[in-house]
Amino acid sequence: MKLLALMKKEFARFFGDPRLLITMIVPGVLIYLIYSVMGNAIFGGGEARYDFRVYVSGESAVVDVIDAAVASNEGWTAEFIYLPADGVQTVDEALERVNGGQADALLVFSEGFDEAIAGTGAGNVVPSADLTYNSENETSAAFASLARGILDNYGRTFSFTVNDFAESADFARNMMAGLLPFLIVIFIFSACMSVTLESVAGEKERGTLATILVTSARRTDIALGKVLPLSCVSLIGAASSFLGVILSLPTLMGISVGSAVSGVGALGYLMLLLLIVSVVPLIVSAIAVVSTLSHTVKEASGYTSVLMLLMMVLSIVAAFVSGIGDWVVAVPVLNAVVCMQGVLTGAMSIWKCLVSFGLNFVYTALLVFVIARLLSSERVMFGK
């Protein structure tokens, strides 16, 4: 009952002030604008038109699906040339064409691919699909992105191999996948910071928090009464950032919306959302601890900036250091950054995502306990 009243008060404070609401929504709009501009700069605008030339060895209905996906993008066309064809008899010859830029990709399906993945084929041979492309060629890279999205999420079990003649040329995309989670976390941090500093350090500075402390409400209720509603409010900012990312991702990656969604996949997006949901209350709690320890909003703002800087450094390191061990799931916030990178690079680990999700809530609970203890501390609350 008291917790409910405390939460309602925070919501009333937030939703009664349009300025606070705007500070939550602006980050998402900014993300969308910044990323779209970045994407246009990298890929030369969002109105790219592609005429794909793709060699195909073997037969599969997947080709029709890819063809339909290509056709769904305005101005995009695809020519699928089945081997053997005039002048190109073998797979090796087709590979040379892809490497040389005369073709954009080669798709190789094992014999009886469709029957095998449908479970109606004979024998125990695992069906396979190989995609070879050259990411130095923009058209080739765009086709590979689209084809990968479809094959990764085809919903059947088969062996899928991707070969790139120029792995290093994928650097730009990998860098984006590395930076995106870092940027998401930074935007979330900003959203949490703007509401938490005002609500906790601000109330402490103005003496209104002490008025609540002299009532019969328990300290844990007061702590939860701050963290829960502030997390919900910050989630609006997080959702805004999340939408900004989703909507700008296609432009950023130089692909269509459909390709972007199928590239990350529904499960991937769910994981991204879960990770964001777990990070928000954790960051709110961390800022609330700092705010409770501070005498003024200014002081809290200074300490929180240090916290933000620390998080930025860790996230940047995580973005560019490969081969981070599984231990990272135990590191608050950083675990979410690494898991989000996994989702965006197609190396998603569901167990890592779920463990990170759970652990972040455990850390939040611990921080709420710390806040309650701090609220009971005379030195912290009333020390000069």
Partner 1 sequence: MATQMPFKDFGEEVVRAENLRKTFTLSRKQQRLEHTDFARKVAVNGLSFSAQRGEIYGLLGPNGAGKTTTLRMLSTLIGPDSGDAFVCGHSVVREPQKVRDVIGFMTSELKLEGFFTPSYLFDFFGAMHGVEKEALSARKKELFGRFGIDRFAEVKVRDLSTGMLQKVSLVVAIVHDPAVVIFDEPTNGLDVLTAKVVTDFLLELKAMGKSILLSTHIFSLVEKLCDRVGIIIDGKMAADGKLTDVCAGRNIEDRFFEIYRAVRGESV
Inter-axis angle of helices 219-253 and 2-15, to 10 degrees? 40
Closer CB to partner 1, 18 or 325, in the complex: 18
Of residues 317-336, which lie at the interface with partner 1 (CB under 8 A)?
none
CA distance 137 to 160: 22
Closest C-alpha to 307, from 190, 181, 180: 190
Per CB under 8 A, 212 contacts partner 1: yes
CB 251 within 8 A of CB 260: no
Structure tokens at 285: 């709690």
> Is residue 97 part of the contact set for partner 1 (CB under 8 A)?
no
Distance of CA 47 to the CA centre of its chain: 25
Q: By CB under 8 A, tell whether 382 contacts partner 1.
A: yes
Does residue 122 interact with partner 1 by CB under 8 A?
no
Question: Are 145 and 66 within 8 A, CB to CB?
Answer: no
Stretch that binds partner 1, among 4-12, 321-329, 348-356, 365-373 (CB under 8 A): 4-12
Closest approach, Cβ 376 to partner 1, in A, equals 9
Cβ atoms of 72 and 22 within 8 Å: the answer is: no
Residues 6+ apart with CB under 8 A from 61: 114
Task: Tell me whether residue 124 is exposed, middle or buried, using C-beta atoms within 10 angstroms of its C-beta: 0 to 12, 13 to 18, 19 or more.
Answer: exposed
Q: Is 87 in the site for partner 1 (CB under 8 A)?
A: no
Binding marks (x or -) toward partner 1, 340..379, rule CB under 8 A?
Answer: --------------------------------------x-
Is residue 1 a contact point for partner 1 (CB under 8 A)? yes
Smallest separation, CB 232 to partner 1 (Å): 18
Of 88, 203, 339, 363, the one binding partner 1 by CB under 8 A: 203
Number of residues located near partner 1, criterion CB under 8 A: 27
Which amino acid is located at 322 in the chain? S
Residue of 21, 217, 312, 354 that binds partner 1 (CB under 8 A): 217
Phi, psi of 140 (to 5 degrees): -60, -45
The 5-34 site mask, x for binding partner 1 (CB under 8 A), equals: xx--x--xx--xx-----------------
Backbone angles phi, psi at 79, to 5 degrees: -115, 115
Q: By CB under 8 A, is residue 92 in contact with partner 1?
A: no
* Interacting residues toward partner 1 by CB under 8 A: 1-2, 4-6, 9, 12-13, 16-17, 203, 206-208, 210-218, 378, 381-382, 384
